[in-house]
Chains A and B, each alone.
Chain A
């Protein structure tokens, strides 16, 4: 297990809460939450997971003209009660990888709680408030977080990596919750700043972080402005979003068309 981690320093923690996010997510929620959080708490990386054995490492992917490479790091800020992990989902040995995260959190950092942040695609309009759906691995923990406005989730189907992590934590007796913030389906391929803010709002309240949302508010206003412009220019798009705002559902074809139009428009910048 030792070979999996590469420490650059060895900070001390005091029963921290671990916040986990993944690089790929609907509405880019998870990476943006981790990035924003780390920036606001002045966090820096103190440990990374060695990639060998977890990723193909067969060249690099290119995104937005930039070569990408998997990265899996633990971060800490000035507060010793917060531990952050941001990483790419492993391509191989998922259980071993997640076990390693929990291992470090439990034995080195003595983590008391686990939080994962994720986006979930929802048939809502971007003008609707984003709900945070929650999955707990212990009933006691669920009771403790009543009052934060989280909504209980029901689901049976293929598990996401966060559910797998939550299950490993459950077996080790670490209370955990996966936060699934709603993303309007037509923003899934773009960035949903409103959902990012909703998620950070929960973390801010839970951990009393005193986050400054000014930067995010600007991004939200900018995106809402663009969406308003698109609705004005494209009556069919306006009609579809209007239907969603009225709680009506769209046909498969309408959903595809809306997603295509919004993604194309927002990507144009």
Chain B
């Protein structure tokens, strides 16, 4: 179980950005888009076999030529005198029962990531994920930010289009961040390292959808590029966001038309269309639960069937 570094770049006072798959793949798509835009170079990886099962085998003419595991790679780049590290994980380590990281393996993974942060003089870590909330898919996603120490609160308040948990959940600002995004924040805190989780909003009725939600990723990138004082071309992401919105509209329309979901659920989703994100949610928790029962059932029906393994 370990990390393999191919090169040891000379990084000073670096900032690390971490992305994993999660709801709407908002976090990983945001961080990976940023990494690609900045042309960060790969410099190491966490060996996957102690954390993951292989996902694909390649057999050609009777020879086993490759066994592919989910990758967990480190990249670096220097931008405007800032040393940046990116960590992109294709899967969250689990103990086999849940979709998101938890347990011993997740803790080990979080520590391996932060070992690399420490080795390359990292001063701060950003993780990114999704904030499930009552917005409509035509609305712009806000970013929810959770720092791991009080000193960062004032800074976070200055970020554009960003809210603290207290703005969502009331003065006590409570909530839970599941998976590695949350765990890394906690382990960083334990190790005395500053960390902030930035989460792009996704409509709650899409949280079980098998598609990405680029709108949420775009909002996260907007915040991160402002923090870094850099500009990157977001044209491709905008295109993806437009196309995703059209697809979601089409999907919901077809459900409404075929009465795939009851009319009252349709009305509840449509009530969100004209509500701004700063306004209180128009749907009660009971209503939200009812909608989720219908929508999740539909997404489950499209789930992958068991495949043949060789």
Q: Residues on A close to B: CB < 8 A?
A: 91-92, 94-96, 120-121, 134-137, 139, 142, 150-160, 163-164, 166-167, 170, 178, 180
Contact = CB atoms under 8 A, between A and B. Distances in A.
Contacts of A96: 50
Nearest to A26: B308
Given A136-B64, A159-B57, A167-B54, 8 more contacts: A92-B95, A142-B62, A155-B59, A158-B55, A159-B54, A159-B67, A163-B54, A164-B53
A156 B56 contact: yes
Contacts of A160: 57, 309-310
Contacts of B50: 95-96
A136 B308 contact: no
B59 A154 contact: yes
B59 A156 contact: yes
B49 interface: yes
B53 A157 contact: no
A156 B57 CA distance: 6
Contacts of A155: 57-59, 310
Q: Find the residue from A135, A160, A180 having the highest chain B CB count within 10 A.
A: A135
Contacts of A153: 59, 62, 310
25 contacts: A92-B96, A94-B53, A95-B50, A120-B310, A134-B62, A135-B59, A135-B63, A135-B310, A136-B62, A137-B63, A137-B64, A154-B59, A154-B60, A156-B58, A157-B56, A157-B309, A158-B56, A158-B310, A159-B309, A163-B310, A164-B53, A164-B57, A166-B64, A167-B57, A167-B64
A120 B59 CA distance: 15
A203 to B, nearest CB: 18
Nearest to B51: A95
Contact of A163 (B49, B64, B95): B64
B67 A167 contact: yes
A153 B57 CA distance: 12
Interface string B284-310: 000000000000000000000001111
Interface of B: 49-50, 53-64, 67, 95-96, 307-310
Contacts of B307: 157-158
Contacts of B59: 135, 153-156, 163
B65 to A, nearest CB: 10
A154 B61 contact: yes
Contact of A135 (B49, B62, B96, B309): B62
A164 B63 CA distance: 13
Contacts of B309: 157-160
Contacts of B56: 156-159
A163 to B, nearest CB: 4
A94 B58 CA distance: 19
Contacts of A151: 62
Contact of A159 (B61, B63, B310): B310
Contact of B64 (A94, A95, A157, A170): A170
Nearest to B69: A95
A255 to B, nearest CB: 14
A164 B54 contact: yes
B107 to A, nearest CB: 16
A158 B69 CA distance: 11
A36 B7 CA distance: 53
A182 to B, nearest CB: 12
5 closest pairs, A vs B, by CB?
A152-B62, A159-B57, A160-B309, A167-B67, A155-B59
Q: Find the residue from B58, B308, B310 having the highest chain A CB count within 10 A.
A: B310
